[in-house]
Amino acid sequence: MATSTKIVLTPSHGGVFNQPGLSWASARKVSEVLQHDMENHHIYLNDIEFHDHIVHFMLTIWALGASPETIQLQYEREDKRQRPAYPRDESLIQSLSDKKVFMKYMYHEEQYSNYLAFFQREITQKGVPAIMKGYLFGGDELAESLLSRMFAGLVHPIIHLGFGIEFQQPAIVAQAFAQASVHKDYLAESFYNPAAVNSSTSCQGDKSLMEIMGEMRADRKIRDSSSHGDTDVFTEGILQRAGAEVVRYCSQWTVAEDQIHEKLVEMINTAIYWTSTAQNPNKELKLDFFFIHATNLSIFFKAFMDLPYLSASEKARFLEMKGRMDLLIWASRKMPEPQPDDISNYPIRLGWPEVFSKSYLHPSDDGHLAKFVRTVAFAQELCRSYEETSNIVLPVTGDMWLKIGNLGKTNSQHFRIRQYVLTINPAVDSVGLIFQDLWVRGSGFSESWAKFGPRK
């Protein structure tokens, strides 16, 4: 049984989307490697706050049907990159029950192990539902700060939380809360709070994300507010130069309590559309590294929206925050003009099982690709019954889903690690074999495309 300190996967823990026939052998292997990761690694793999993606990677490829050998192989590759965990301080762990002390040590990465131990004990005593309700939606200063911090670090803490909720692993939920605790809260005062105020005080129509994006792209101040050289693309970039305008547009995406499922469908469909169509018509196909995080987070909102212990108002607020964050991420990369023909004209060569296997056998990606194709396949199922519904704007329909998954190369390469030799074929044409060539970082900037070759 999974607990706050023990990770245990079984074939029944396949999440909201999985390949049929998940094996006990793979379940045991993924449980083993994730336990090792939790007990031995820090949440950052380097000194500039790049995240340990092992939980994301391993649970995704587990759900997509990876063998125990593949799970072990990919884990060993990632294990070598990680920093060791900091030692725990028992007296400090106990003091974190005082919310003032808790907040004093936030955004100190060396306290991650202490926050992890604290949340493990809280979950053991109170259960995951009480932690979710109290520490995210409790309404006090700490809860509001943790809710905002979940979306910090390019949404990595909330992705981690999504994996814990989706795969029913209390220990991973504890990791997510600890991770959020050591992130900077840079979105509350500059983005989320003013957006909420603006939404509640102005007369808002029921605009779709696509409508809002069209209006933002037509606004010259928004277009000129992001720069390729920005260090922090939000607080030192677009929010500094056009914060009021960005907030005004983003606050126009609202979720009523009786619209939750329809808005979920719209959000995930739209995120996949602007991520996959953000191409340079003169360059080889690439996915934007920032955009894929918005897409890869989307799948977990099905699990969040299904939680019986969250109220409709809490779910609506959570989903609003996701949609507004999507708009912020998209606008910060200079709002590239979508190229839908790159999707509609792409040939389908592989079925979903082949797409999945090619993604999780990639020799240098750390799971972003597998997360992306899993989300796209899930979204196809989620959106199918809504494709003929006129009141929801769905830019991705029909066979576009598999075409997005099929932006694939047809030449096989070989991936050799120790005794394993695997024939691999990247599932997405935008993803190369060399780590530096996997993604374009800022698809709206011409400078970001300079290193990539022309269309063939």
Q: How far apart are CA 436 and CA 365, in angstroms?
A: 10
CA angle 392-16-38, nearest 5°?
130
Q: Identify the band that residue 425 occupies on the pLDDT scale cut at 50, 70 and 90.
A: very low
Residue type, 451: K
pLDDT (0 to 100) of residue 436: 63
Answer positive or negative: Cα dihedral of 435, 35, 168, 102: negative
Banded pLDDT at 431 (limits 50, 70, 90) = low
What is the pLDDT, as a whole number, of residue 432? 53
> In 3D, which of 64, 80, 58, 81 has the Cα closest to residue 7?
58
pLDDT mean across residues, the chain: 92
Share of the chain above pLDDT 70, in %: 93
N-term to C-term CA, the chain = 52
Residue 420's pLDDT is 36
Q: In angstroms, rounded to a whole number, what is the distance separating the alpha carbons of residues 104 and 203?
A: 39
Note the pLDDT of residue 206: 86
Question: What is the tens place of the pLDDT at every residue in 96-152?
Answer: 999 999 999 999 999 999 999 999 999 999 999 999 999 999 999 999 999 999 999
Using an 8 Å Cβ cutoff, are 250 and 328 in contact?
yes
| Residue 128, helix vs strand vs coil | helix
* Per-residue pLDDT, 204: 64
pLDDT in tens, 365-402: 899 999 999 999 999 999 999 988 768 989 999 999 99
Nearest to 246 by CA among 207, 295, 213, 276: 213
Question: If pLDDT is split at 50, 70 and 90, which confidence band does 435 have?
Answer: low
pLDDT more than 90, % of the chain: 86
pLDDT at 409 over 80: no
Q: Which residues have CB under 8 Å from 109's CB, separation 6+?
A: 42, 43, 44, 49, 182
**Closest of 133, 142, 143 to residue 165, by C-alpha:** 133
Three-state secondary structure call for residue 434? coil
3-state secondary structure of 249: helix
- Give residue 434's pLDDT: 54
The DSSP code sequence of 342-407 is HHHT------HHHHHHHHHT-SS--SHHHHHHHHHHHHHHHHGGGTT-TTS--S--TTHHHHHHT-
Q: What is the pLDDT of residues 152-208, one digit of tens each?
A: 999 999 999 999 999 999 999 999 999 999 999 999 999 999 999 999 887 666 899
In tens, the pLDDT along 203-247 reads 666 899 999 999 999 999 999 999 998 888 898 899 999 999 999
Question: Would the pLDDT of 413 be above 50?
Answer: no
- pTM, whole model, 2 decimals? 0.94
